[in-house]
Structure 1
Amino acid sequence: MNEAYPPVLDSLAVVLRLENVDTDVITPIGRVLEGPQAIVDYAFEPLRFADDGTKRADDPFADPDRQNAQILVAGRNFGCGSSRETAAQAIRGMGFRCVIAPSFGDIFYSNCLKNGVLAVALGSREVEQIMASADALSRIIVRLPEQRIELDGQVAQFEIDPLSKRMLLGGIDEIGLLQGYAEAKANFDRADAATRPWVRARRRA
């Protein structure tokens, strides 16, 4: 079970002006990572560390003014490539609750939702406007119940399927979602047994 997604997320954002950032960049493949903290420590390794292991001066995640940012804004096709859930886990472990981009890798998008991260796909022009505002340290407000993003007086609506939205706000996964229907199923089974006893008898036979 994940931590419930906040109905209103009000945060600064980290801007990653790169396209086609694949899951091998988010979770490096050239290193054995043991434990959830290592996944976070070495997330985006090519962008954060030089070949000798020292910190890169242009690390996009090192801006001291954005150390508590919970929103990541990226270029198109973010999270493309191989299927690795650790990529979404790394994003969540770095403190991000929302990723905004023009498009995502399909499996990465799904993994984000399963790991308590809201992935928002918007038009390229809208994303560029958000990036410009984020560069100026404007705060971004994400209202999941209303499926709306607000910043600098502008509003952008986004799409999310109802079940994913419900799971995020409730902090539950697919199993938790099904468990929420347990009482309704039990009530149906009792009513069905009363109105169609022959069905139950045939199943036992």
Structure 2
Amino acid sequence: MQAFTLLTGTAIPFGQRNIDTDVIIPARHLKAITKAGLGVWAFETIRYNEDGSENPNAIFNQSAYKGAPILIAGDNFGCGSSREHAAWALGDMGVKAIIAPSYSDIFSGNAFKNGILAVVLPQEAVDRLLEVAKEAEITIDLENQVVTTPYQDRFEFQIDPFRKHCLLNGLDEIGITLQMADKISAFEATRDAAKPWLPGAAGLDRKAS
């Protein structure tokens, strides 16, 4: 997982409330077992017309916001089903951070596991950022837990210390486990010496029936 430290970039001033995971990625696309390619279907019902053509009025299709790394959303973002594909689709379309007043707990967890920072700010701060995003970039400083703008706006946010540590260091669940590799190896060596009959113990004939 790529480390998240400081991000300055264009933010999509979306702002709609109660966007559920079916809007983020429709259920018919859940057959995918990889993250790659899901971004094209993110917000499909908003981005495309019934005939499959792009909706030119959809904010996601406007050239100024295509590929933007920050999404500004409304309250209760990511509600609905627990599909991790929602975080996959957002990441595949280039989103590295979301700013909203609140999120579904499950979505927030899925976003974190996929390296997407979910910033929680009061509605007043979100409203201000929605306006700024129309004309300027926004900066998210995870180390100092603050969102800033070129107009001297400064909004502090809270984050779970464990999640902050993982995001700053680019640690997913595998990375966290690998940090304990020496201790795991030491435990296995001690276990093998004490209980050599266990499956997987050193010297055990794995071909034996």
User: Match for residue 51 of structure 2?
Assistant: 52
**Where has structure 1 moved over 4 Å in runs of 4 or more?**
184-187
Deviation at residue 41 of structure 1 after TM alignment? 1.2
User: Match for residue 12 of structure 1?
Assistant: 10
Q: Is the 8 A contact 2:24 2:43 kept in 1?
A: yes
Q: Is the 8 A contact 2:30 2:85 kept in 1?
A: no
- 2:148 partner SS: strand
> Kindly tell me: are residues 153 and 180 of structure 1, through their superposed partners in 2, closer, same or farther at Cα, counting changes over 3 Å?
same
In structure 2, how many angstroms separate the alpha carbons of the residues matched to 1:32 and 1:146? 36
User: Match for residue 61 of structure 1?
Assistant: 60
Percent identical residues? 37
User: Match for residue 120 of structure 1?
Assistant: 119
Q: Is the 8 A contact 1:16 1:73 kept in 2?
A: yes
Establish whether residue 131 from structure 1 lines up as the match of residue 130 from structure 2.
yes
Q: How does 1:1-205 map to 2 (within 5 A)?
A: 2-5=1-4, 7-31=5-29, 33-34=31-32, 35-135=34-134, 137-151=135-149, 152-183=151-182
User: Match for residue 197 of structure 1?
Assistant: none
In structure 2, how many angstroms separate the alpha carbons of the residues matched to 1:93 and 1:156? 27
| Structure having the larger proportion of residues in helix | 1
Deviation at residue 30 of structure 1 after TM alignment? 3.7
Which stretch shifts more, 176-185 or 13-22?
A: 176-185
Deviation at residue 174 of structure 1 after TM alignment? 2.3
Deviation at residue 165 of structure 1 after TM alignment? 1.1
Q: Is the 8 A contact 1:33 1:39 kept in 2?
A: no
- 1:65 partner SS: coil
In structure 2, how many angstroms separate the alpha carbons of the residues matched to 1:146 and 1:61? 29
Which stretch shifts more, 30-39 or 173-182?
A: 30-39
Could you list the runs of 5+ residues in structure 1 that have no partner in the other structure?
Answer: 194-199
CA RMSD of aligned residues (A): 2.3
Normalised by the size of structure 1, how large is the TM-score?
A: 0.84
- 2:147 partner SS: strand
Q: Is the 8 A contact 2:59 2:65 kept in 1?
A: no
Deviation at residue 33 of structure 1 after TM alignment? 4.8
Deviation at residue 4 of structure 1 after TM alignment? 1.7
In structure 2, how many angstroms separate the alpha carbons of the residues matched to 1:163 and 1:32? 30
In structure 2, how many angstroms separate the alpha carbons of the residues matched to 1:88 and 1:31? 13
Q: Is the 8 A contact 1:19 1:74 kept in 2?
A: yes
